[in-house]
Amino acid sequence: MLTWLAVVLRAVLPISLALVLLFLHQLRELSRRGRAGGPSDAGNTTRMRRVGVLPPASWVVFGTFEFWMSSWVVQTLERSSVPIHAPLDVDGSAVFIALVLIGLG
């Protein structure tokens, strides 16, 4: 494995795991407070905001990493003698519509 790739993996994985653990911790605190029957306070509001922000933040981290890795793979394959081309011309809007229909189903 390339050393710079190992460095990137060692940087991205702890960040993504920290976001997941922070999300779970905030959910745990919200459920603990709800089971205790205490009134809603500013701390709960802050926790709910964090619970709403953490999934998109983790999607940005994962998406950036996946984009970077796929770009790296394409550049590596372009430098090699392996031809890269799609045998079919795929319409992006049709794929998007199909994914939306699968998501709704």
- Segment 50-93, tens digit of pLDDT: 888 888 888 888 888 888 888 887 788 778 776 666 666 667 78
What gap in Å lies between CA 54 and CA 104, rounded to an integer? 24
- Write out the E strands in 7-104: none
**What pLDDT does residue 37 have?**
80
Give the DSSP per-residue string, 50-90.
Answer: HHHHHHHHHHHHHHHHHHHHHHHHHHHHHHSS-----SS--
Round to whole Å and give the CA distance between 70 and 51.
29
Q: What share of the chain has pLDDT > 70, as a percent? A: 88
At 24 the pLDDT is 92
Q: What does the pLDDT read at residue 90?
A: 66
- CA end-to-end span of the chain, whole Å? 41
Q: What is the reported pTM? A: 0.56
- Asked whether residue 33 carries a pLDDT value surpassing 80, the answer given is yes
Contacts of residue 54, defined as CB under 8 A and 6 or more positions apart, other chains included, come to 19, 22, 23, 26
